[in-house]
Amino acid sequence: MYFDVNKAKKVRSFYQDYNTLGPYSISASPIETDDPMDLVAAVLSEFGQSTAEQKAIFRPILEAWLLEPEDLEFLHSEAYLAGKKGEEVLQWVYEMF
């Protein structure tokens, strides 16, 4: 799975340049994964590396993205929670907010 912000039809990303509103990431690298859990973990890892000022700007957007009905359903699905990694990522989400 390759997550391309420019090709996604429905995206709420906190990786928006505040001045130009263009997508960016702190690591400046694409996120490639076969597992959606890895995508969630990668986004949260990027957020964790942000400065306090960046976190203050983007936290509400990230929180809204994680609380969207589709994403919330996925995060609480049995398939997602069945793996230990899934539990760790979900716990990380709760700890951040």
Residue 20 is encoded by which pair of tokens?
């130009």
Residue 81 is encoded by which pair of tokens?
């929670």
H/E stretch holding 74 reads helix 69-75
Give the number of C-alpha atoms closer than 13 A to the C-alpha of residue 13, restricted to the C-beta side.
22
pLDDT, position 86: 62
pLDDT band at 5 (very low <50, low <70, confident <90, very high): very low
pLDDT, position 46: 74
Give the tens place of pLDDT for each residue, 17-70. 445 544 444 444 455 666 666 767 777 777 777 778 877 777 777 777 666 666
Q: Residue 87 and residue 82: Cα distance in Å, rounded?
A: 8
3-state secondary structure of 32: strand
Give the single-character DSSP code of 35.
S
pLDDT, position 52: 82
pLDDT, position 25: 47
Q: What pairs with residue 15 in β-bridges?
A: none
- Checking if the pLDDT of 12 tops 60, the result is no
Please give the tally of structural domains in the chain. Answer: 1
Query: Which residues constitute the domain of residue 17?
Result: 2-96
- Checking if the pLDDT of 13 tops 50, the result is no
